[in-house]
Amino acid sequence: MTLSEKETLSQNNFPAVEKLLHNEIYEYIKQIFTPFPEKSIETQIDEIINDFSQNFLIADNANTNVEIDWVIRNFGNSKIPAQPTDFETYFQSLNENVVAHSIHTSSPQFIGHMTSALPSFVRPLAKLMTAMNQNAVKIETAKALSFCEREALAMMHRQIYNLSDNFYTQHIQNNQSTLGILVSGGTTANITALWCARNKSLGAKHEFLGIEKEGLTAALNYYGYKGAVVIGSELMHFSFDKAADLMGISTKNLIRVPVDSNNRVNIRVLRQAVADCRQQNLHIIAIVGIAGTTDSGSVDPLEEIAEIAQENNIHFHVDAAWGGPVIFSRKHQHKLAGIEKADSVTIDGHKQLYLPMGIGMVFFRDPHLASSIEKQASYTMRKGSFDLGKRALEGSRPGMALFLHAGLKLIGLNGYEFLIDEGIRKTQYMAARISAMPEFELLAEPDTNLLIYRYIPEQFRDVIANKQLTETNNQFINNFNESLQKMQRQIGRTFISRTTKKTINWDKEISVIAMRAVIANPLTTEGDIEAVLNDQIQIASGISIAY
């Protein structure tokens, strides 16, 4: 059937409504669901939206400088209109109220968060994904896509674990094997990894049916544990708090080990924590290593953590949501050495794989580990099928695998290597500039492409240089940096985020408010970095906080 035949048909055959009381709404619904009438609504909207996208993407500033209270004014209507809004009016208001006051995450001077510019092919691909509207939960709604997803995940698995050709031939399209799970984000990936680790380590044994069927309390009783814990650095992402809460083990039992001055977990203390837990008869579900902390991009000593986990027969999870793609760089991949010993690894596609928001991944060394969370349902999710939803936290989900597959093929190893190398190179450039400028203090040597530093008001530059800073001075500098970051954000020309670092000084723990730069946008130049720092200096000159 040709397109024009189809148009005629879909217009003629539209369901006959016996009593056509709602003539208008009927015509309208027909119109918006019919794929391609001449100069269709879709074509018209496509043109409007291409304009919006272009204007959005060429904007230089990080954001408009309007106040949040002003933006909020436009979103106070909780009533759904009875009649459909005409699309020109709607898209015009969407542009004025939403697009105009959205964050220019792709701006080269927006270097404060892990969201950056994307390659252009993802935009048309988003339209294709939506046109196809596959549901990856089961093979009956995602036939070829299910295998495409498995292939893309296997490619990433190979990049991390580099197992034999034979291993991949055996598992890549084997419905009993799960090399990885595509999820909506790193949080779900981390929760899934710990869920698998928990269920496997407290599984069925003799007459005990396993934690899944008998619950946490019964499992701890059966195995003779007093509680269950997860151990990692104090810089673990807050998704681990969510996981510990959700799984019922408590956030108190998320054991946070202190980091060294470079924000890497203290191995000696970690080893001691493991020994303490064992002595207290606490079950260690997993030890977590971080490859790229959210705070500062630092990478834990993964080899050493792997060793501790192996010695104690504990699941080793690596949260590489941010840093994972550093494995693409021949120059920097050594920083992640030991990741290949992890039982599970989280990587976000929407971070350093430069894919759209909504692509998290968890990978497993053992292709059968995810069986510990498998579920069935009669209407779908049949045993022995390729239904991807049976070993996953999520059910229905979109075909985001299209982006992952396209990214790996269209950017390739060399493309990703270039992106990683450039990000780290520019971060080192920024670190060097900060060290050279009297206005700033570098707070840690960057491991990867995150950088923390702070602005030092003029009157404290000497005491900083002489390491004579008092706690009161520090508090003042904190307030100053918080104001500076907020003002910079509000003005909206450039953007840097902020975080709070705990450091030991004067023999006690103090908080340092830090500026946090994330250099991932390939469009960001050295000139942009200078511009961001100069913007801060300029804004700082106008801040007066009484000392």
The count of residues interacting with its own copies (CB under 8 A) is 196
Nearest to 345 by CA among 334, 353, 354, 336: 336
Which CB sits closer to its own copies, 43 or 541?
43
Q: How far is the CB of 470 from its own copies (least distance, A)?
A: 23
| 523 three-class SS | coil
Size of the chain in residues: 547
Q: Which stretch binds its own copies (CB under 8 A): 308-316, 332-340, 414-422, 460-468?
A: 414-422
Pick from 412, 465, 470, 509 the residue near its own copies by CB under 8 A.
Answer: 412
- Which residue of 182, 318, 381, 442 would you call a contact of its own copies, by CB under 8 A? 381
Nearer to its own copies, 236 or 308 (CB): 236
Q: What's the token pair of residue 451?
A: 């950088």
Among 125, 284, 339, 345, binds its own copies (CB under 8 A): 125
Residue from the set 286, 419, 430, 533 that interacts with its own copies by CB under 8 A: 419
In the chain, the amino acid numbered 130 is T
Q: Report how far residue 14's alpha carbon sits from residue 16's, in angstroms, rounded to the nearest whole number.
A: 6
Extract the tokens encoding 483.
């104001």
Residue closer to its own copies, measured from CB, 473 or 525: 525
Q: Which of residues 294-323 bind its own copies (CB under 8 A)?
A: 294-295
Q: Does residue 258 touch its own copies according to CB under 8 A?
A: no
Q: Is residue 109 a contact partner of residue 122, using CB atoms and an 8 Å limit? A: no
As measured in angstroms, the least distance from the Cβ of 474 to its own copies is 16
Q: Which is nearer to its own copies, 315 or 405 (CB)?
A: 405
Cβ contact 230:240 at 8 Å: yes
3-state secondary structure of 515: strand
Examine residue 117 and tell whether it contacts its own copies (CB under 8 A). Answer: yes
Using an 8 Å Cβ cutoff, are 198 and 214 in contact? no
Chosen residue from 333, 366, 386, 433 binding its own copies by CB under 8 A:
386
Site for its own copies, residues 8 to 67, rule: CB under 8 A:
10, 13-17, 22, 25-26, 28-30, 32-36, 40-42, 45-46, 48-50, 52-54, 56-58, 60, 63
Structure tokens that stand for 454 in this block: 């702070």
When asked if residue 145 is in the footprint of its own copies (CB under 8 A), the reply is yes
Q: Which of 182, 193, 197, 211 is close enough to bind its own copies by CB under 8 A?
A: 211
Report whether 159 contacts 359 (CB < 8 A): no
* Minimum CB distance to its own copies smaller for 300 or for 417: 417
- In the bound state with its own copies, the residue whose beta carbon lies nearer, of 115 and 266, is 115
| CB nearer to its own copies: pick between 139 and 306 | 139
Radius of gyration of the chain (CA): 26
Q: Which of 65, 92, 213, 432 binds its own copies (CB under 8 A)?
A: 213
Q: Counting contacts by CB under 8 A, is residue 491 touching its own copies?
A: no
Question: Quick one: which H or E segment has residue 287?
Answer: strand 282-290
Please give the distance of CA 119 from its chain centroid, rounded to a whole number.
17
**Candidate residues 230, 247, 326, 469; the one interacting with its own copies per rule CB under 8 A:** 247
DSSP-based helix, strand, coil % in the chain, nearest 5: 50, 15, 40
Q: How far is the CB of 377 from its own copies (least distance, A)?
A: 4
**Residue 148 or residue 308: which is nearer to its own copies going by CB?**
148
Q: In what order do the strands lie in the sheet with 440-442?
A: 440-442, 450-455, 508-518, 497-505
**Tokens representing residue 278 in the block:** 């064992």
472 contributes a contact to its own copies by CB under 8 A: no
Sign of CA dihedral 394, 397, 403, 405: positive
Residue from 281, 375, 438, 545 in contact with its own copies (CB under 8 A): 375
Q: Are 440 and 453 in contact (CB under 8 A)?
A: yes
Task: Report how far apart the first and last C-alpha atoms of the chain are (Å, whole number).
Answer: 78
The interaxial angle of helices 143-161 and 401-436, nearest 10 deg, is 40
Nearest to its own copies of 160, 308 (CB atom): 160
Helix (H, G, I), strand (E, B) or coil at 458: helix
Stretch 524-543 residues interacting with its own copies (CB under 8 A): 524-528
- Give the residue, chosen from 39, 77, 166, 467, that forms a contact with its own copies under the rule CB under 8 A: 77
Q: Which residues pair with 441 in a beta bridge?
A: 454
Distance from chain centroid for Cα 235: 16
Least CB distance from residue 47 to its own copies, whole Å?
8
Nearer to its own copies, 8 or 435 (CB): 8
Q: Of the two residues 49 and 267, which places its CB atom closer to its own copies in the complex?
A: 49
Q: Are 266 and 304 in contact (CB under 8 A)?
A: no
Question: Per-residue x/- mask for its own copies, residues 494 to 513, rule CB under 8 A?
Answer: -x-xxxx-------------
What are the b/e assignments for 374-413, b being 16+ CB within 10 Å? eeeeeebbeeebbbbbbbbbeeebbbbbbbbbbbbeebee
Distance of closest approach, residue 461 Cβ to its own copies, in angstroms: 26
Residues in 149-188 at the binding interface with its own copies, rule: CB under 8 A: 150-151, 154-155, 157-159, 168-169, 172-173, 184-188
* DSSP SS3 for 398: coil
